[in-house]
Structure formats: structure tokens, C-alpha cells
């Protein structure tokens, strides 16, 4: 079993080699300049690598890019094997990265929260306290009323 530093180093190498090969070496029009390699993870035994990618475009372009990556998998694995010089070249699995979609969802939720906060600010702008402005007792301010209450309690 390889250590984590070696797996991380191999993952970084795979990410660089695949990105360079996609940019310069593969002439598939489905894999134009709109495919970006975002991350790569290698298993501890260095046998399998997962390559995360994003595609700039609509769903049709995402589907065609996924098909292009699947068809170019052998060429990309050969390029990784030549660059890595390891005994066994890891198998490549391409996974569409959900990070942009997740970020968009979080941005939408934050916008809703800001709108809700703004509505609360608007409603509370003219609001007044239910009681006095300062509801806390201050020492010495109500001493005579406290003394009258305690004297009344002892008379009974």
C-alpha cells in the first residue's frame, strides 16, 4: 500500500498530464477548450484514479464532453503511464464535478436569505418596544416601591 504523499503526488501529475493532453493532444471537437480538469483523486493502492471535470456550457455540451472523455480514456491513460513511470498505470474514471452547481445553489439560498433579512428590517423599522425602552431595573430607582411591598408583607 502506497503512502498518501505518493498518491497525492500521482494525482497531481495525472491532473496536469490529462489537462495538457486535452488542451494540445486530442483533436476531438467535443473536448474543446470548454472542459476544465478540477481535481484528481487516486486510491491508496494507486490502481484507480478519479478525474473530476467541469464543462462550460449547457447540458448538451456536458453530455458530448462526457462521451468525448470516455472515448479518449485510452489515449489519456497511455499519456499518464508515459509521464508517471509507475509499474501499473491507474485506470481513469471521469466524473462531472458538482462544485459549480452546488455553488450556484448556495448563492441562490444566500440571495433568498438576504431578501428575507431585508423584509424583516423593513417591518421592524417602525416598530416600538412592547414596554419601556429599557426594561431592566436600576438600583435606587424603585427602592421606595420595594420597601412598601416588603412592609405590606410583614403586616399580614
How open is the CA angle 71-60-28, to the nearest 5 degrees?
35
pTM beyond 0.85: no
Judged by DSSP in three states, 7 sits in helix
How open is the CA angle 32-59-29, to the nearest 5 degrees?
20
**Under 8 Å between Cβ of 32 and 76:** no
Cα gap 95→60, rounded to integer Å: 16
Q: Do strands 48-55 and 91-96 pair parallel, antiparallel, or not at all (unpaired)?
A: parallel
Cα gap 90→73, rounded to integer Å: 11
Nearest to 9 by CA among 70, 64, 85, 104: 85
pLDDT of the chain along its 156 residues, tens only? 557 888 899 999 999 999 888 888 788 777 777 788 889 999 988 899 999 998 887 888 888 888 888 888 888 999 999 998 888 999 999 998 887 778 889 999 999 999 999 998 888 887 777 777 677 878 876 555 555 555 555 544
Cell numbers standing for residue 46: 494507486
Res 156: pLDDT: 46
Cα gap 69→152, rounded to integer Å: 89
Amino acid at each position: 500500500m502506497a503512502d498518501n504523499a505518493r498518491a497525492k503526488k500521482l494525482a497531481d501529475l495525472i491532473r496536469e498530464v490529462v489537462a495538457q493532453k486535452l488542451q494540445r493532444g486530442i483533436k476531438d471537437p467535443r473536448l474543446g477548450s470548454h472542459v476544465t480538469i478540477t481535481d484528481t483523486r487516486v486510491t491508496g493502492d494507486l490502481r484507480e484514479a478519479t478525474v473530476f471535470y467541469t464543462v462550460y456550457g449547457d447540458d448538451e455540451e456536458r453530455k458530448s464532453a462526457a462521451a468525448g472523455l470516455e472515448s479518449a480514456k485510452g489515449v489519456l491513460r497511455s499519456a499518464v503511464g508515459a509521464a508517471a513511470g509507475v509499474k501499473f498505470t491507474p485506470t481513469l474514471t471521469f466524473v462531472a464535478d458538482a462544485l459549480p452547481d452546488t455553488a450556484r445553489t448556495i448563492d441562490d439560498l444566500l440571495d433568498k436569505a438576504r431578501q428575507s433579512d431585508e423584509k424583516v428590517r423593513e417591518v421592524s423599522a417602525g416598530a416600538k418596544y412592547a414596554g419601556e425602552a429599557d426594561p431592566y431595573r436600576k438600583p435606587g430607582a424603585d427602592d421606595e416601591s420595594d420597601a412598601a411591598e416588603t412592609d405590606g408583607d410583614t403586616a399580614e
